A and B are shown apart, each in its own frame.
Chain A
Amino acid sequence: GQQVMQIPQYQHVQEGEDFTTYCNSSTTLSNIQWYKQRPGGHPVFLIQLVKSGEVKKQKRLTFQFGEAKKNSSLHITATQTTDVGTYFCAGPPRSSNTGKLIFGQGTTLQVKP
């Protein structure tokens, strides 16, 4: 079945350093969504990318969708302690036209002050 993989699984950075997580799908995605989950919390929607090669920015966060629509990345510039959490990418299964999402296993970010 369709798989969505994320790397790295864990990342420890010093506050102020940059951070990137990568997401790869085994099949082409119609769109990709990113969520953030704080420790002990619930996933919170960050953004959705739809177009091939799309780049979107939210303050220090930059999201990219690959040209082939099979991969995506999230880059955080100058991390802060508030960035701590697990970042998930998610996309709809190829065979489904419902809102069902397949989630990657997430990248957990730790930021040392």
Chain B
Amino acid sequence: NAGVMQNPRHLVRRRGQEARLRCSPMKGHSHVYWYRQLPEEGLKFMVYLQKENIIDESGMPKERFSAEFPKEGPSILRIQQVVRGDSAAYFCASSPSGLGSSYEQYFGPGTRLTVT
């Protein structure tokens, strides 16, 4: 029973390039959350998606960041024109449900993004 999968595990980008982070939720889970973690800090919520829908993007920066969870395939977090401040660990989590309830979230191993 595969857990949440994320790739790549490590990503190095130069300033101005694009970063694409992928997340496949646990089997049977249709709710995906993206969090960002800066060194020595907690997790900051970014966005919550269901298949083909963005439910809550209140934690997403207004510019350069976007997320999707298509009908087929993994969820994608996309960062355009990366800057050094985007360097962080990006974690994806999934749960079996979301709206109207609170279930534990299962986290993937994360993608460590380094912007040089």
Contacts and interface: CB of A to CB of B under 8 A. Distances in A.
Interface residues of A, number: 24
A58 interface: no
Contacts, number: 65
A87 to B, nearest CB: 11
Interface stretch (B13-21, B67-75, B76-84, B106-114): B106-114
B105 interface: yes
A75 to B, nearest CB: 20
Contacts of A44: 107
Nearest to B89: A42
B75 to A, nearest CB: 14
Interface in A95-112: 96-106
B107 A88 contact: no
Interface in A34-64: 35, 41-45, 48
A98 B55 contact: yes
A44 B56 CA distance: 23
Contact of B105 (A30, A101, A104): A101
A103 B35 CA distance: 10
Contacts of B97: 99
Contacts of A92: 102
B33 A99 contact: yes
Nearest to A106: B42
A33 B93 CA distance: 14
A31 interface: yes
12 contacts: A33-B104, A42-B91, A45-B106, A88-B42, A88-B43, A98-B98, A99-B101, A99-B102, A101-B45, A103-B35, A103-B45, A104-B42
8 smallest A-B Cβ distances: which pairs? A99-B98, A45-B104, A105-B42, A42-B107, A103-B43, A103-B42, A43-B107, A92-B102
Interface of A: 30-31, 33, 35, 41-45, 48, 88, 90, 92, 96-106
